[in-house]
Structure 1
Amino acid sequence: MSLRGRRVIVSAGPTFEDLDPVRFIGNRSSGKMGFAVADAAARQGAEVVLVAGPVALPTPANVTRIDVRSAAQMHAAVLAALPADVYIGAAAVADFTPRAVAPGKIKKQAGMDTLVLELVRTPDILAEVAVHPRRPRLVVGFAAETDHVEQYARGKLEKKQLDLIAANRVGVAGSGFESDENALAVYGRDGFERALGPAPKIQLADNLLELISTRLG
């Protein structure tokens, strides 16, 4: 199957939520899976927009890259890139961000044994894209979980009204964040289920895009 003539938006990597000019809240996402997905879509002939969090990865060939840092910036960039035939939300977007960013470095004070941060929810990009007036034909999410992978993935699939979700276990050696290999379990709201891998992430990306291409018809 081919994605020639299709427009695909991919979000990849982590987001960094600044506490002050020096520190931030982040996560261990390397962006490798999302970049592999963008590369695979481009090689299948799609027009690809890659919204990338702060990662040190080269831009895949024939891909338009938009660099962002925070969840709010990623949210704005993804919505601005619509419409599309497919949105693949492979980014590990922060669920919470500091209510306010300190203008200067937060300093330790004498007798200061704890630091309390007030965090607020970030926009839910996947859920918003799934109900957007310019909703893509297919909205595909990712679920990185440490346990109960299928249960949490299926819950996210239904709650956010996605078409497909690709789930993987993180926190184990040889897969997930920072690794060049992974294994995915893909679930659909129509009862679809398929296991992919373990395999190199570029191969998994090809396999996932083949599934997406087939479902687009």
Structure 2
Amino acid sequence: MHVLLTAGPTYEPLDPVRFLGNRSTGKMGYALAEAFAAQGAEVTLVSGPSSLPDPASPRIRTVRVETAAEMFAAASAVAATADVWVFAAAVADYRPAHVASEKIKKSGETLTLELVKNVDIAGTLGQSKRPEQFAVGFALETTNELAHAQDKLRRKQFDLIVLNSLRDAGAGFGHDTNKVTVLDAAGQIVNFELQSKADVARGLVSLILARLTPTP
């Protein structure tokens, strides 16, 4: 089994020293890569900027990228040959329309930035997804969590979506623990209570592998 897995944030440069980004550390995605490898899968881990070291497992090939465009290119290169896609990265929705070649100097009381939309990596790859491929998305929400996650699952042709809420203490960015809810297109819901991200990853991989194994 070959798994394509995206993890971490993306950074969209403003100038040589500044960027637009988010607080993702990559911990959940890296834990998933290790969990898949432990089950015998070959993993291509496309990682945005993260302070985490490359996973030690020889079954995991780590591709380091910075921007959403670079992540899309790296994911596209292996998507067709992957059996499972897991989009755990927190990809920037927008990037600056213009990147300054020199550091932007402080001038005036306000600074206006023009932003343009980044490629929707999961949505774009989903258009070429084959029936035998299995896709898992992540959603980090702050309001109307279930409704937003279910809409994202339908739009991006996911088989499962993993929902994080920033309203849950100890979950989401920057923590070693997580608490998630997993939904499928039929409306079935599986809840993972607060536990280490490594334990959440093992549970999610078991759930995914169970969906891939035909019922006798």
* TM-score, structure 2 as length reference: 0.93
- Counterpart position of 1:3: none
**Contact residue 129 and residue 135 of structure 1 kept, 8 A:** no
- Counterpart position of 2:151: 155
Matches for 1:3-22 after TM superposition, within 5 Å: 6-22=1-17
- Counterpart position of 2:53: 58
Q: Secondary structure at the match of 1:92?
A: coil
Deviation at 1:126, TM superposition (A): 0.7
Q: Secondary structure at the match of 1:209?
A: helix
Q: Measured at CA, do residues 135 and 23 of structure 1 come closer, stay the same or move farther in structure 2, by a change above 3 Å?
A: farther
Deviations 1:146-180 (A, max 9, x none): 22211111111111111110001125531110000
How far apart in 1 are the matches of 2:202 and 2:170?
A: 19
Matches for 1:118-137 after TM superposition, within 5 Å: 118-132=114-128, 137=133
Deviation at 1:183, TM superposition (A): 0.7
Q: Which of 203, 206, 210 matches 2:199?
A: 203
Deviations 1:182-216 (A, max 9, x none): 11100011332111121100000000001110111
Deviations 1:109-135 (A, max 9, x none): 2xx111111100001011112112667
- Counterpart position of 1:86: 84
- Counterpart position of 1:100: 98
Q: Measured at CA, do residues 135 and 128 of structure 1 come closer, stay the same or move farther in structure 2, by a change above 3 Å?
A: farther
Q: CA RMSD in A?
A: 1.3
Unaligned runs of 5+ in 1: 1-5
Structure 1 runs (4+) deviating above 2 angstroms are 133-136
Q: Measured at CA, do residues 68 and 144 of structure 1 come closer, stay the same or move farther in structure 2, by a change above 3 Å?
A: same
For 2:150, give the aligned amino acid: R
- Counterpart position of 1:38: 33
**Contact residue 168 and residue 179 of structure 2 kept, 8 A:** no
Q: Secondary structure at the match of 2:125?
A: helix
Q: Secondary structure at the match of 2:71?
A: helix
For 2:89, give the aligned amino acid: A
The alignment status of 1:76 with 2:64, answered yes or no, reads no
How far apart in 2 are the matches of 1:84 and 1:215?
A: 16
How far apart in 2 are the matches of 1:72 and 1:136?
A: 26
| Number of aligned residue pairs | 210
Unaligned runs of 5+ in 2: none
* TM-score, structure 1 as length reference: 0.93
**Contact residue 135 and residue 159 of structure 2 kept, 8 A:** yes
The alignment status of 1:167 with 2:163, answered yes or no, reads yes
How far apart in 2 are the matches of 1:14 and 1:136?
A: 28
